[in-house]
Structure 1
Amino acid sequence: MSPKQQRGAVTAERVLDAALDLYASEGEAGVTVSALTRASGVSTGSLYHHFGNLHGVISALALRWLGRLLGELATALTSHQDARSGIEAVVRAYLEFVRTRPAAARLLHSPFADQEGTARAAEIRDNQEARLTPIEQWLDGHRKAGELADLPTPVIEALVLGPVIGMARRWLTLGDVDLEEAARVLPDRIWRSVGP
């Protein structure tokens, strides 16, 4: 990477770091061009150069954190040899991500992220392929070995992540659930739905 490219990468990281801080303190409405330039120290021209517009900043921020979440889930899953331990580890890893990174989790579970996911599903999938492929291979191997229910991968993903996402959204919006208790209860309940 050339020195100019390195400076560009550092600038983009500063903008994204500032955007998450603003999102955490002010919500999506607080992430404005003027607030971003003030918080990051990056010029308006540089912001537009790197991201195109404000939507591009939020989109890049969501992709950054989606990649980190998927990386943690892939590590949790693939570090276990048996299917049950892997599935249970994914549930706990997801809830831990939400608990320890609430601003990023709030963004990933926001209407903006939902709209982006719907509008750009194939592009996002391609962008995250390196993180998704090991998950799919792990699931496929355990399904073929008879250690998981004989269901298509998208169905297994929905059965595993659906309840976790529901719990995360409730905690992020209402705060009336205990994520530590959920991390104790959900793994076994979810395993029962995808086990052989």
Structure 2
Amino acid sequence: MSPKQQRGEETVARVLDAALELYAQSGEAGLTLGAITQAGGVSAGSIYHHFGSLHGVTTALAMRWLGRLLGELAAALERADDARTGIHAIVRTYLDFVRAHPAAARLLHSARADHEGMAHAKAIRDSQEARLSPIAAWIDARREAGELAALPTPVIESLVLGPVVGAARRWLSVGDIDLDETTPALQEHIWRSVAP
């Protein structure tokens, strides 16, 4: 990597780190060009050069954390001995991620992220293909082995992640559920929904 490329990557990382900190403090309202340039120690020109716009910063930040979440889910599945432990691992890993990174999780579960997800679902899936493929392959292999219900992969993904996302949103927005108590209950209920 050339020194110029390295400096560019460092600038991108500083901007995204600053943007997440500002989001944690003030939500989307805190993500202004002035606040990011000041917190990240970069120029407005650098932001436009690397991200194209303020919206580009938010999108890149969400994609960074989505990639990290998907990577953690795929790694959890790789360590699973069977379908049941894999499903349990997905639930636990997702909710542990939300608890460990609440600001990033709020961004990923925000109305803006929902809007972007609906408007650009194919592009987002394509950009995360390297992280999504191992998850889909794991589901396919377990289904073909008779360890999961004979349902299409997108249906299994929805049955598994739908309740987990719902619990994460509830914890992030209202805070009236205990993730330690919720995790084992969800693990078993979700497992029963996808078991053969």
Same fold flag (TM > 0.5): yes
Q: State the alpha-carbon separation in 1 of the partners of residues 28 and 77 from structure 2.
A: 32
Number of residue equivalences: 196
- 1:141 alignment counterpart: 141
Structure 1 outlier segments of 4+, above 3 Å: none
TM (normalized to structure 1)?
0.99
Give a deviation string over 1:72-117, Cα, whole Å, max 9, x none: 0111112112000001100000000001100000000001111111
- 1:4 alignment counterpart: 4
- Structure 1: 5+ residue stretches without partners: none
- 1:118 alignment counterpart: 118
Give a deviation string over 1:6-56, Cα, whole Å, max 9, x none: 100000000000000000000011110000001000001111111111000
SS of 2:175's equivalent? coil
Which residue identity is paired with 2:115?
Q
Q: State the alpha-carbon separation in 1 of the partners of residues 195 and 137 from structure 2.
A: 17
Q: State the alpha-carbon separation in 1 of the partners of residues 110 and 35 from structure 2.
A: 20
Give a deviation string over 1:102-147, Cα, whole Å, max 9, x none: 0000000001111111111111111111111111111001101110
SS of 1:124's equivalent? helix
- 2:30 alignment counterpart: 30
Q: State the alpha-carbon separation in 2 of the partners of residues 124 and 78 from structure 1.
A: 23
- 1:19 alignment counterpart: 19
Q: State the alpha-carbon separation in 2 of the partners of residues 69 and 10 from structure 1.
A: 22
Matches within 5 A, 1:18-167: 18-167=18-167
- Structure 2: 5+ residue stretches without partners: none
Instruction: Give the CA RMSD over aligned residues.
Output: 0.6
Give a deviation string over 1:143-195, Cα, whole Å, max 9, x none: 01110000001110111000000000011100101011111211011100000
Q: State the alpha-carbon separation in 2 of the partners of residues 190 and 56 from structure 1.
A: 35
- 2:173 alignment counterpart: 173
